Amino acid sequence: MKINIRHLELLEIFFHKEKIEMSEMKLLSNIQLKESLYLCAKCDTGSLQCLFSKNNYSQVKKLSLTQFVIGEEDVQVFKNSLNLENIKFSNLALEQIYISDLFCNGEDYNIKYIYFSNFCISESDLKFISKLKKTQKIIVNSLFSSIFN
């Protein structure tokens, strides 16, 4: 059976499974998402780039990523996600990339709430966070930093 999605708008996507395949990411990238994206699964590097490549997620306000593998292919994946208000990143595997690399340095993001848990951050990540003008709350849980090594 073949499904062809041309235009589908949703408020929220919650995807929780062992592994998200690239073909599933391509399918998800066709959905116009308005509010929240919750993804909890292992995946291949470049999956975020695939998901955000069509700019269908630029209106997302809440983003939660758990157990994701993020690599160099995902640089500036959130460059058009200026409406993000709430980000929650947990148990990420960062491969030769920092969280700050996912965003565009010159943009004014609307991020108000940040939750980081169980992954390494860098000095550039802290600099990026410090430049966010609208941040109201930052929660850090079991964070490992490469700054002090």
User: How confident is the prediction for the chain on average, in pLDDT?
Assistant: 87
SS3 75: coil
Indicate whether 6 pLDDT > 70: no
What value does the mean pLDDT take over residues 98-104?
95
In terms of pLDDT, which residue wins out, 56 or 95? 95
pTM of the full structure = 0.85
What value does the mean pLDDT take over residues 62-82?
95
Total of domains in the chain: 1
Q: Give pLDDT, residue 134.
A: 96
Q: How confident is the model at residue 60 (pLDDT cuts 50, 70, 90)?
A: very high
**Does residue 1 lie within any of the structural domains?**
no
Q: Determine the distance from the C-alpha atom of residue 101 to the mean position of all C-alpha atoms in its chain, rounded to a whole number.
A: 11
Task: Give the length of the chain.
Answer: 149
CA-nearest of 41, 42, 40, 39 to 52 is 39
Q: Give pLDDT, residue 55.
A: 80
**Does residue 2 lie within any of the structural domains?**
no
Indicate whether 65 pLDDT > 90: yes
Q: Give pLDDT, residue 28.
A: 85
Taking the CA atoms of 102, 103, 109 and 114 in sequence, report the sign of the dihedral they define: positive
Q: Give pLDDT, residue 8.
A: 61
Render pLDDT for 7-32 as a digit per residue (tens, 0 to 9): 566 677 777 889 999 998 888 888 88
Q: How confident is the model at residue 146 (pLDDT cuts 50, 70, 90)?
A: low
CA-nearest of 67, 51, 69, 63 to 115 is 63
Taking phi over 0 as left and psi of -120 to 50 as alpha, with beta for the rest, 142 belongs to left
**Does residue 130 lie within any of the structural domains?**
yes
Domain range for 110 is 8-145
